[in-house]
Chains A and B, each alone.
Chain A
Amino acid sequence: MPLLQTDAVTIRFGGLTAVSEFTLSMEPHELVGLIGPNGAGKTTIFNMLTGVYKPSEGEIQIAGTPTRHLKTPQIAALGVARTFQNIRLFKELNVLDNVKIGGHMHNRYSVATAFLHTAHFGQREEAAEREALDLLKIFDLHARAHDLARNLSYGDQRRLEIARALAARPKLLLLDEPAAGLNTGETIELMEKIHEIRDRFGLAILLIEHNMELVMGICERILVLNFGRTIAEGTADEVRGNPVVIEAYLGEPAEAAAL
């Protein structure tokens, strides 16, 4: 049973068909890339996978469970976590709290427990703190645990978002443009980190990216979208030479050159 299965998923907003017949199957531990010009529908697909939008047609299944009628938190409970294109951190909270909230599903308890400070409370809080710090160490952010999220540098904020998503203990991690705004050095670090977390946590990762070095460098399989349709699918080499793909990118010279 594949970890993620989407069948001919389509979504329309009024008269606009944003995504058309998107079909993807992912096994655990796979690293798949989703690329395409701006507006191709990539983030919309993420939004459908996480329950923010409901598809007009088609089925999505996570580990065999259909998600059409599930709300976002329920889908998260199935093991799907994500980062956002425009960084959605909890800005007024500190770094540690951001990650702790990421782990909310695994370290929560009732109001009564919180009020009475029972032994259970103590255990859960200690566990939450420990897990959060461990995740922050992976990204070298533990020194800044008590800083406010909004005071972090852009690159640190992007990494914090990934740490937060990992706290949810996902089986499938969706990364939306994780390298946006990073320089070459940071991008290489990110590529290594992605490999590291995939191996360490046994994740399947689906990522959206415009940075061709990253995508071609780490993705085992790549899907290319244009105007909501999948126009190509294959390994990095297959996609790179595909004339349909190159034409779709002709309006984007930097990326076309990188292909």
Chain B
Amino acid sequence: MQEFLQNLLNGVAVGAIYALIALGYTMVYGILKLINFAHGDIFMLGSFTGFYAGGWAAAHLNGRAGTWMSWLVAGAVMLLAMTVCGLFGYLNERIAYRPLRHAPRIASLITAIGVSFFLEYGGQFVFGPDPKFFPTLVKKHLIRVDGIVTTNYQVLVLIVAVIFMAILQFIIYGTKFGRAMRAVSFNFETASLMGVPTDRIISMTFIIGSVLAAVAGILYGLSYPKIDPLMGILPGLKAFIAAVLGGIGNVPGAVVGGLVIGIIESFVGASQFSSFRDAIAFVILIVILLFRPSGLFGKYEPEKV
């Protein structure tokens, strides 16, 4: 039972990170019907921003920081990462996707892949391909409850993730802006005819998604300190699969999807099939797309003839 709960907890912790990334995919797809392949690499940029900023801060503080000071620094680093990623997300849409909005699907698909590779290999070029170690922004403690071991990092991940998801939920359902976002995702043309500033909404959607990815990047860096420029590929793909699992375009679905994938991965990783842990997400993808392509919470939209 202990082991079960331990695996469950681990799964939820990593699933929360997937969920944060998945939200970005699902929102962009909901509005533009585009799979933003580069999103996983924005997540990577978040981690690297944290690495450089955190490293700079650590060097300047020289170990003099008390607990609340280090929390402050951590917060600042996260804010910086959010800003950097938000900027990249905005630029990505503006430069690479907006001009192709009316072009055939495959052009956007290829561009998205191109941007993704550009960030990955550009990252290798700029940061160097070797893995780096994410700075310990906050000291790690082990927490033992009932025989289950967790770290304050895992608790932090859960709390931060929940906070940001709650904020997102509020934005989408409780603000005028959120209503505009939903309108654009239902019907782009009608929304723009109704006076919704679609370009601005789309930019904001990308920014919000990138901000969440940045948060995920920082949390991931803390939990799994070895980072490298290609680190966004696998989590990005898994987060995308999570979004599809939940019903792509569906915001709560992305969260559920992320948690489900995280949990399944955790259990598979602990079992005898552990070498297939990374492949299990693909298997889930193929199964969903073949049997329930609209995902858990999505609706099937037939093509009008």
- In the complex, A47 Cα to B305 Cα: how many Å? 8
Q: Mark A30-51, 1 if CB is under 8 A from B, else 0.
A: 0000000000000100010000
- In the complex, A47 Cα to B304 Cα: how many Å? 10
- In the complex, A43 Cα to B305 Cα: how many Å? 8
Contacting B at CB under 8 A, from A42-78, are 43, 47, 52
- In the complex, A84 Cα to B304 Cα: how many Å? 12
- Which residue of the partner chain B has the closest CB to A13? B302
- Which residue of the partner chain B has the closest CB to A176? B305
Q: Smallest Cβ distance from B102 to chain A, in angstroms?
A: 15
A47: B residues at CB distance < 8 A: 305
Q: Smallest Cβ distance from A158 to chain B, in angstroms?
A: 17
Q: Mark B290-305, 1 if CB is under 8 A from A, else 0.
A: 0000000000000001
- Which residue of the partner chain B has the closest CB to A50? B305
Sort chain A's interface into a size bin. under 10
Q: Smallest Cβ distance from A49 to chain B, in angstroms?
A: 12
- Which residue of the partner chain A has the closest CB to B303? A52
- In the complex, A84 Cα to B305 Cα: how many Å? 8
A52: B residues at CB distance < 8 A: 305
- Which residue of the partner chain B has the closest CB to A85? B305
Contacting A at CB under 8 A, from B265-305, are 305
Q: Smallest Cβ distance from B299 to chain A, in angstroms?
A: 10
B305: A residues at CB distance < 8 A: 43, 47, 52, 84
Q: Smallest Cβ distance from A58 to chain B, in angstroms?
A: 19
Q: Mark B190-219, 1 if CB is under 8 A from A, else 0.
A: 000000000000000000000000000000
- Which residue of the partner chain A has the closest CB to B299? A14
Q: Smallest Cβ distance from B107 to chain A, in angstroms?
A: 15
- Which residue of the partner chain B has the closest CB to A14? B299
- In the complex, A219 Cα to B167 Cα: how many Å? 63
- In the complex, A183 Cα to B184 Cα: how many Å? 37
- In the complex, A255 Cα to B6 Cα: how many Å? 72
Q: Smallest Cβ distance from B61 to chain A, in angstroms?
A: 61
Q: Smallest Cβ distance from B166 to chain A, in angstroms?
A: 32
Q: Smallest Cβ distance from A43 to chain B, in angstroms?
A: 7
- In the complex, A84 Cα to B303 Cα: how many Å? 14
- In the complex, A52 Cα to B305 Cα: how many Å? 8
Q: Smallest Cβ distance from A193 to chain B, in angstroms?
A: 25
Q: Smallest Cβ distance from B294 to chain A, in angstroms?
A: 14
Q: Smallest Cβ distance from A232 to chain B, in angstroms?
A: 26
- In the complex, A43 Cα to B304 Cα: how many Å? 11
Q: Smallest Cβ distance from A171 to chain B, in angstroms?
A: 22
Q: Smallest Cβ distance from A73 to chain B, in angstroms?
A: 15
A84: B residues at CB distance < 8 A: 305
Q: Smallest Cβ distance from B222 to chain A, in angstroms?
A: 47
- In the complex, A171 Cα to B287 Cα: how many Å? 42
Q: Mark A3-45, 1 if CB is under 8 A from B, else 0.
A: 0000000000000000000000000000000000000000100
Q: Smallest Cβ distance from A65 to chain B, in angstroms?
A: 22
Q: Smallest Cβ distance from A68 to chain B, in angstroms?
A: 18
Q: Smallest Cβ distance from B257 to chain A, in angstroms?
A: 25
Contacting A at CB under 8 A, from B214-266, are none
- In the complex, A52 Cα to B303 Cα: how many Å? 10
Q: Smallest Cβ distance from A92 to chain B, in angstroms?
A: 11
Q: Smallest Cβ distance from B301 to chain A, in angstroms?
A: 12
Q: Smallest Cβ distance from A7 to chain B, in angstroms?
A: 23
- In the complex, A107 Cα to B305 Cα: how many Å? 27
Contacting B at CB under 8 A, from A144-168, are none
A43: B residues at CB distance < 8 A: 305
Contacting A at CB under 8 A, from B91-139, are none
Q: Smallest Cβ distance from A217 to chain B, in angstroms?
A: 28
Q: Smallest Cβ distance from A61 to chain B, in angstroms?
A: 22
Q: Smallest Cβ distance from A38 to chain B, in angstroms?
A: 14
Q: Smallest Cβ distance from A32 to chain B, in angstroms?
A: 21
- Which residue of the partner chain B has the closest CB to A47? B305
- Which residue of the partner chain B has the closest CB to A52? B305
Q: Smallest Cβ distance from B303 to chain A, in angstroms?
A: 9
- Which residue of the partner chain B has the closest CB to A44? B305
- In the complex, A180 Cα to B305 Cα: how many Å? 17
Q: Mark A89-133, 1 if CB is under 8 A from B, else 0.
A: 000000000000000000000000000000000000000000000
Which 4 residue pairs across A and B have the least CB separation, nearest first? A52-B305, A47-B305, A43-B305, A84-B305
* 4 residue pairs from A and B, CB less than 8 Å apart: A43-B305, A47-B305, A52-B305, A84-B305
Q: Which residues of B contact A (CB under 8 A)?
A: 305
Q: Which residues of A contact B (CB under 8 A)?
A: 43, 47, 52, 84
